[in-house]
């Protein structure tokens, strides 16, 4: 399994590549680049609620 670190508003979030969390983080970063900060924050909150945290994955947590 590959892991990827997304930088968002000065913080790094390590996610499982291809997970739902990865998908929402990509959308959050895209919205931030385009200047849609409110949408970016909404997508970031969705990412934090989605499965795909790399730290949990390394500890053996698996979703669906």
Q: Which DSSP string corresponds to 18-38?
A: TSHHHHHHHHHHHHHHTT-HH
Residue 34 lies in a domain: yes
Domain limits for position 45: 3-58
Q: H/E element holding 8? A: strand 3-8
Whole-structure pTM value: 0.88
Residue 23 lies in a domain: yes
pLDDT score at 62: 78
Indicate the number of domains in the chain. 1
pLDDT score at 61: 84
Dihedral over alpha carbons 57, 12, 26, 34 (to 10 degrees): 170
Do 32 and 40 contact (CB within 8 A), yes or no?
yes
Give per-residue pLDDT as tens, 18-64.
Answer: 999 999 999 999 999 999 999 999 999 999 999 999 999 989 887 75
Round to the nearest angstrom and report the end-to-end CA distance of the chain. Answer: 15
């Amino acid at each position: 399994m590959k892991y990827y670190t997304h930088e968002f508003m000065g913080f790094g979030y390590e996610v499982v590549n291809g997970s739902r969390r990865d998908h929402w983080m990509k959308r959050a970063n895209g919205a931030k680049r385009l200047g849609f900060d409110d949408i970016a924050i909404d997508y970031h909150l969705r990412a934090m609620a989605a499965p795909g945290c790399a730290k949990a994955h390394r500890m053996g947590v698996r979703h669906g």
